[in-house]
Amino acid sequence: MRGISIEERACILAHYIIESKDTVRGAAKKYGISKSTVHKDVSERLLKINPALAAEVRVILDENKAERHIRGGMATKEKYSHKELGA
């Protein structure tokens, strides 16, 4: 994402999260930037640039936050389902 402005980056990230319903972590991985940069772009900087878009992305972020305990449990279950019992 080099060569574009911070404002453009924030909008691109917001559109990606809205369209894909991906997490901040997923967006960071896709675009090769840190989670904290993605979070700051879509939750702070975007409010000043495009409040309507910020509100849309906030809905997705809130959904992801509400579901994160479920995702964590599924990841743990998956991790341990590959290990042999009694080994």
pLDDT in tens, 38-60: 999 999 999 999 999 999 999 99
pLDDT of amino acid 12: 97
Nearest to 15 by CA among 32, 38, 33: 38
> Global pTM?
0.81
Is the per-residue pLDDT at 29 higher than 70?
yes
Strands annotated E in 1-87: none
> What letter represents residue 77's amino acid?
K
Nearest to 57 by CA among 69, 45, 70, 71: 45
Structure tokens at 55: 């509100």
